[in-house]
C-alpha cells in the first residue's frame, strides 16, 4: 500500500512504510524540456527538508530539486546516468530520482495530495 | 523549480511586433536585453536545435537593431568608428566588425553591409543598441552622415534547407554569397548570414509587411519556429561569441580569437577608435585567449565556472557553456592564459563546488556550413 504526495516545487514522493521514492512531476519535466544530465547525491547522505539534493539539467539551464522531506538517501536512479531523458519519458515512474528513509514522517502531512497538486498547476 | 514558474519582472519588457504570432505558436517567453523573447516552442530546445542543423529554423530576431548610415561621409565615419576599410568595401558585401573603446575593449560586435556608394546597414546587438546609436551619432557629428535607427521586424532563416525555402517563398537568393546583403525592396534588408554555423538568411522588413512573410515561411513543411535557447546552443557549438558573455568592454578582438575580422593593414594601427591599443596587444600577443572547452563527462559546465590547472593554479573562466545537441556532449568556451590555450590542455572547472575535468578543444564543435561571421 503506497501513497503519493506532491510539493509546491513540483516534486512527487511515493511512500511505502518508512521508504519514500522521490521524482519530479510530469508538469515539471514539461517545463524543463529535454534533460541532458542529472546530478544525483551520494547514497548514505542525510538530507533536510528543503535542501538542494538533485540537479536536473536541460540544454539551457540547471535546476535544483529540493528534498521534499528529511531523511537518509538509500538509493539513486543509476539508469539516469546514461539516459537522463528517462525523466522526460516517465517522470512519475521509471524516471524517479532518489529513495529516502524518512526521518520525520510527520512532514508528509504538510504536502499536497494529487488532487490539490493538479489544482495548483492548472 | 521549472523555469516557467520563475517570476520575472516583465513590466518593463518590450514585446516583439510579432508577439501574437509567437503566442499562437505556443512559445514560452523570457526576458533578454529588455525584450520579452520566445525562448522555446512546443518542439523543445533539443529538437529545435537539431531541426536547424537538419532542415531549417525560423527565428524572430527583431530585438536586434538595424541602423541605416547614409551620406557622402558614411564610409569615412564608419572607418573611424570601427576597424573597417569601409571606403574600399564592395557594395553588397557584409563585414563582421567591432565598436572598440580606447583600451581596444569590445563595446559591441557588429555586421556592416555596404548597400551603395554612400549607404551602409549596421546590425547591432539588442543589449548594446542604445550605446551603438549614440556612439555612431557622435562619430557622425559635423560630417555629411545621417545615422538612423530603423524599426523593423527582423527574421532569420537558418539551416541547409534555407535557400530552397527562401526561393519557394519568392525571394531571389540563389546568387547571394555568404556574408553579402541587399535591399530587395525599399525599407527591406536581406543578408546571407547567421548565427548558427549553418547557411541561412536574415531578412528585415517594415512591421506591416512582416506577419504575412513570417506566416509564409513558417508554413513551409521544412521550417520550425526556433527560440532563443536553441539559438544560444547553436551559436555555441559553432564557436560564435555572445556579446555580454564571451565579449565585453574588457576583452579585445585579439584575445577573443577574432583577429581575422581586423583588416591586415589595420592590425598595426589606423584611424579607428581603439587602434593604438589593439596594435600593441597584437604585437605583444594577448595575455588571455578565448578557447573551446570540452568536459570529459556528460555534465554541462556553464558560464561563470572558474577554471584551474590540474595543480590548482587559476586558469581563467568559462564564459559560455551548456549542452551541444548536435555535438552530443557538453560544450563550452572561455578565456584562459595564453600558455594554456593549446588544444588538449587539461583544465579543471568548478561546478557547484565540485571539480569537473575539461580540456581545451578546437572551435567550432560542429563542422560549419557557413563561412566566418556572426
Residue (of B193, B168, B219, B240) closest to B92 by Cα position: B193
Chain B CB contacts of A30 under 8 Å are 2
Q: How far is CA B293 from the centre of its chain?
A: 19
Domains of chain B by start residue, with CATH: 3-55+152-237 (3.30.1360.120), 63-149+252-285 (3.30.70.1400), 287-368 (2.40.30.110)
Peptide bond into A31 cis (omega under 30): no
> Rounded to the nearest 5 degrees, what angle is found at the Cα of B207, between the Cα atoms of B201 and B210?
50
On the question of pLDDT at B36 being above 50, the answer is yes
Extents of the domains making up chain A: 3-121
Grid coordinates standing for A99? 529513495
| Per-residue confidence (pLDDT) for residue B6, from 0 to 100 | 43
A81 touches chain B (CB under 8 A): yes
Residue (of A6, A47, A57) closest to A27 by Cα position: A6
Q: What strands, in cross-sheet order, belong to the sheet with B14-15?
A: B14-15, B35-40, B28-32
B31 touches chain A (CB under 8 A): no
B4 touches chain A (CB under 8 A): yes
CA distance B203 to chain A (A): 26
10 Å CB burial of residue B312 (0-12, 13-18, 19+) is exposed
| Per-residue confidence (pLDDT) for residue B368, from 0 to 100 | 80
Give the fold, CATH level 3, of A3-121: OB fold (Dihydrolipoamide Acetyltransferase, E2P) (2.40.50)
Distance CA B13, CA B37 (A): 9
The stretch B38-60 carries a mean pLDDT of 97
Question: Are the Cβ atoms of A64 and B40 closer than 8 angstroms?
Answer: no
Percent helix, strand and coil across chain A, each rounded to 5? 25, 40, 40
Q: What is the 3-state secondary structure (H, E, C) of chain A?
A: CCEEEECCCCEEEEEECCEEEEEECHHHHHHHCCEEEEECCCCCCEECCCCEEEEEEECCCEEEEECCCCEEEEEECCHHHHCCCHHHHCCCCCCCCEEEEECCHHHHHHCECHHHHHHHHC
On the question of pLDDT at B5 being above 50, the answer is no
Distance CA A121, CA B20 (A): 24
Question: Are the Cβ atoms of A59 and B4 closer than 8 angstroms?
Answer: no
Minimum mean pLDDT range among B5-19, B44-58, B123-137: B5-19
pLDDT in tens, B311-326: 999 999 999 999 999 9
Distance CA B200, CA B191 (A): 9
Residue A40's closest chain B neighbor by CA? B299
Distances (CA, A) of B93 to B89, B131, B171, B284: 7, 25, 18, 32
The stretch A63-74 carries a mean pLDDT of 97
On the question of pLDDT at B8 being above 90, the answer is no
Indicate the pLDDT class of residue B9, thresholds 50, 70 and 90.
low
Residue A53's closest chain B neighbor by CA? B352
pLDDT in tens, A93-113: 999 999 999 999 999 999 999
Q: For residues A93, A97, A101 and A106, what is the CA-based torsion angle, rounded to 10 degrees?
A: -80
Distance CA B227, CA B45 (A): 7
The stretch B263-284 carries a mean pLDDT of 98
CA distance A50 to chain B (A): 12
In chain B, the percentage of residues whose pLDDT exceeds 90 is 95
Number of helical H runs and strand E runs in chain A: 4, 9
Indicate the pLDDT class of residue B370, thresholds 50, 70 and 90.
confident
On the question of pLDDT at A117 being above 60, the answer is yes
Under 8 Å between Cβ of A58 and A14: no
On the question of pLDDT at B259 being above 80, the answer is yes
The stretch A48-70 carries a mean pLDDT of 95
A34 touches chain B (CB under 8 A): yes
| Per-residue confidence (pLDDT) for residue B372, from 0 to 100 | 40
Under 8 Å between Cβ of A114 and A7: no
| Per-residue confidence (pLDDT) for residue B229, from 0 to 100 | 97
pLDDT in tens, B182-220: 999 999 999 999 999 999 999 999 999 999 999 999 999
Under 8 Å between Cβ of B370 and B200: yes
Calculate the average pLDDT of chain A.
Answer: 96
| Per-residue confidence (pLDDT) for residue B367, from 0 to 100 | 87
Grid coordinates standing for A113? 495530495
Distance CA B216, CA B203 (A): 13
| Per-residue confidence (pLDDT) for residue A1, from 0 to 100 | 72
On the question of pLDDT at B347 being above 60, the answer is yes
Question: Are the Cβ atoms of A36 and B46 closer than 8 angstroms?
Answer: yes
A79 touches chain B (CB under 8 A): no
CB pairs under 8 A between A and B: 73
Distance CA B176, CA B106 (A): 29
The stretch A51-69 carries a mean pLDDT of 95
Indicate the pLDDT class of residue B11, thresholds 50, 70 and 90.
low
The stretch A70-87 carries a mean pLDDT of 97
Question: Are the Cβ atoms of B229 and A65 closer than 8 angstroms?
Answer: no
The stretch A39-68 carries a mean pLDDT of 96
**Which neighbouring-strand residues pair with B70?**
B119, B146
Closest CB to B1 among A34, A65, A84: A65
Calculate the average pLDDT of chain B.
Answer: 95
On the question of pLDDT at B374 being above 60, the answer is no
Distance CA A105, CA A15 (A): 10
10 Å CB burial of residue B311 (0-12, 13-18, 19+) is exposed
Under 8 Å between Cβ of B223 and B213: no
Indicate the pLDDT class of residue B371, thresholds 50, 70 and 90.
low
**Which neighbouring-strand residues pair with B37?**
B30
What ipTM was reported for this prediction? 0.89
Under 8 Å between Cβ of A95 and A86: yes
Indicate the pLDDT class of residue A87, thresholds 50, 70 and 90.
very high
Distance CA B314, CA B305 (A): 12
Residue (of B68, B109, B112, B114) closest to B88 by Cα position: B114
Indicate the pLDDT class of residue B10, thresholds 50, 70 and 90.
low
Question: Are the Cβ atoms of A34 and B45 closer than 8 angstroms?
Answer: yes
Residue A59's closest chain B neighbor by CA? B323
Indicate the pLDDT class of residue B373, thresholds 50, 70 and 90.
very low
The stretch B2-25 carries a mean pLDDT of 77
On the question of pLDDT at B161 being above 50, the answer is yes
Grid coordinates standing for A52? 538542494
B1 touches chain A (CB under 8 A): yes
Grid coordinates standing for B146? 545621417
| Per-residue confidence (pLDDT) for residue A60, from 0 to 100 | 87
Closest CB to A61 among B3, B325, B330: B3
Closest CB to B46 among A55, A59, A65: A59
| Per-residue confidence (pLDDT) for residue B4, from 0 to 100 | 42
Distance CA B117, CA B89 (A): 10
Which is more confidently placed, B66 or B9? B66
| Per-residue confidence (pLDDT) for residue B324, from 0 to 100 | 97
> Rounded to the nearest 5 degrees, what angle is found at the Cα of B371, between the Cα atoms of B367 and B374?
100
Q: What is the DSSP letter of B91?
A: T
Chain B CB contacts of A25 under 8 Å are none
On the question of pLDDT at B12 being above 70, the answer is yes
Distance CA B135, CA A11 (A): 50
A39 touches chain B (CB under 8 A): yes
| Per-residue confidence (pLDDT) for residue B369, from 0 to 100 | 79
Distance CA A103, CA A99 (A): 13
Amino acid at each position: 500500500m503506497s501513497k503519493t504526495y506532491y510539493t509546491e516545487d513540483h516534486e512527487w514522493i511515493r511512500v511505502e512504510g518508512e521508504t519514500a521514492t522521490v521524482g519530479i512531476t510530469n508538469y515539471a519535466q514539461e517545463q524543463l524540456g529535454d534533460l541532458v544530465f542529472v546530478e544525483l547525491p551520494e547514497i548514505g547522505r542525510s538530507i533536510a527538508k528543503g535542501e538542494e539534493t538533485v540537479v536536473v539539467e536541460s540544454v539551457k539551464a540547471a535546476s535544483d530539486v529540493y528534498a521534499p522531506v528529511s531523511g537518509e538517501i538509500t538509493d539513486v536512479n543509476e539508469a539516469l546516468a546514461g539516459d537522463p531523458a528517462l525523466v522526460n519519458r516517465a517522470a512519475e515512474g521509471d524516471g524517479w530520482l532518489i529513495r529516502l528513509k524518512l526521518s520525520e514522517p510527520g512532514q508528509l502531512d504538510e504536502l499536497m495530495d494529487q488532487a490539490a497538486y493538479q489544482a495548483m498547476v492548472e | 523549480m521549472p523555469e516557467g514558474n520563475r517570476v520575472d519582472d516583465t513590466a518593463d519588457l518590450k514585446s516583439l511586433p510579432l508577439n501574437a504570432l509567437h503566442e499562437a505558436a505556443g512559445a514560452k517567453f523570457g526576458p533578454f536585453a529588455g525584450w520579452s523573447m520566445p525562448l522555446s516552442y512546443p518542439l523543445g530546445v533539443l529538437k529545435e536545435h537539431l531541426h536547424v542543423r537538419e532542415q531549417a529554423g525560423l527565428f524572430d530576431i527583431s530585438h536586434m537593431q538595424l541602423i541605416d548610415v547614409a551620406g557622402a561621409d558614411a564610409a569615412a565615419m564608419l572607418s573611424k568608428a570601427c576597424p573597417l576599410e569601409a571606403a574600399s568595401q564592395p557594395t553588397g558585401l557584409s563585414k563582421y566588425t567591432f565598436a572598440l573603446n580606447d583600451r581596444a575593449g569590445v563595446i559591441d560586435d557588429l555586421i556592416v553591409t555596404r548597400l551603395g556608394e554612400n549607404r551602409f546597414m549596421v546590425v547591432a546587438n539588442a543589449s548594446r543598441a542604445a550605446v551603438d546609436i549614440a556612439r555612431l551619432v557622435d562619430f557622425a557629428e559635423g560630417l555629411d552622415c545621417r545615422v538612423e535607427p530603423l524599426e523593423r521586424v527582423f527574421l532569420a532563416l537558418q539551416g541547409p534547407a534555407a535557400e530552397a525555402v527562401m526561393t519557394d517563398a519568392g525571394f531571389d537568393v540563389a546568387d547571394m554569397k555568404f556574408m553579402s546583403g541587399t535591399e530587395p525592396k525599399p525599407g527591406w534588408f536581406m543578408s546571407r548570414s547567421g548565427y548558427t554555423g549553418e547557411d541561412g538568411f536574415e531578412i528585415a522588413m517594415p512591421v506591416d509587411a512582416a506577419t504575412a512573410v513570417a506566416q509564409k515561411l513558417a508554413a513551409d513543411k521544412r521550417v520550425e519556429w526556433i527560440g532563443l535557447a536553441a539559438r544560444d546552443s547553436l551559436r555555441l557549438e559553432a564557436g560564435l561569441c555572445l556579446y555580454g558573455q564571451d565579449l565585453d568592454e574588457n576583452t579585445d578582438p585579439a584575445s577573443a580569437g577574432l583577429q581575422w575580422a581586423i583588416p591586415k593593414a589595420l592590425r598595426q594601427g589606423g584611424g579607428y577608435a581603439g587602434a593604438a591599443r589593439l596594435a600593441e596587444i597584437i604585437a605583444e600577443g594577448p595575455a588571455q585567449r578565448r578557447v573551446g572547452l570540452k568536459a570529459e563527462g556528460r555534465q554541462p559546465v556553464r558560464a561563470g565556472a572558474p577554471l584551474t590547472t590540474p595543480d590548482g593554479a587559476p586558469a581563467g573562466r568559462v564564459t559560455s557553456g551548456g549542452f551541444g545537441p548536435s555535438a552530443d556532449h557538453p560544450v563550452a568556451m572561455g578565456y584562459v592564459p595564453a600558455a594554456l590555450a593549446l588544444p588538449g590542455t587539461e583544465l579543471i572547472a568548478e561546478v557547484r563546488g565540485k571539480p569537473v575535468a575539461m580540456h581545451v578543444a578546437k572551435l567550432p564543435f560542429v563542422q560549419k556550413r557557413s563561412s566566418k561571421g556572426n
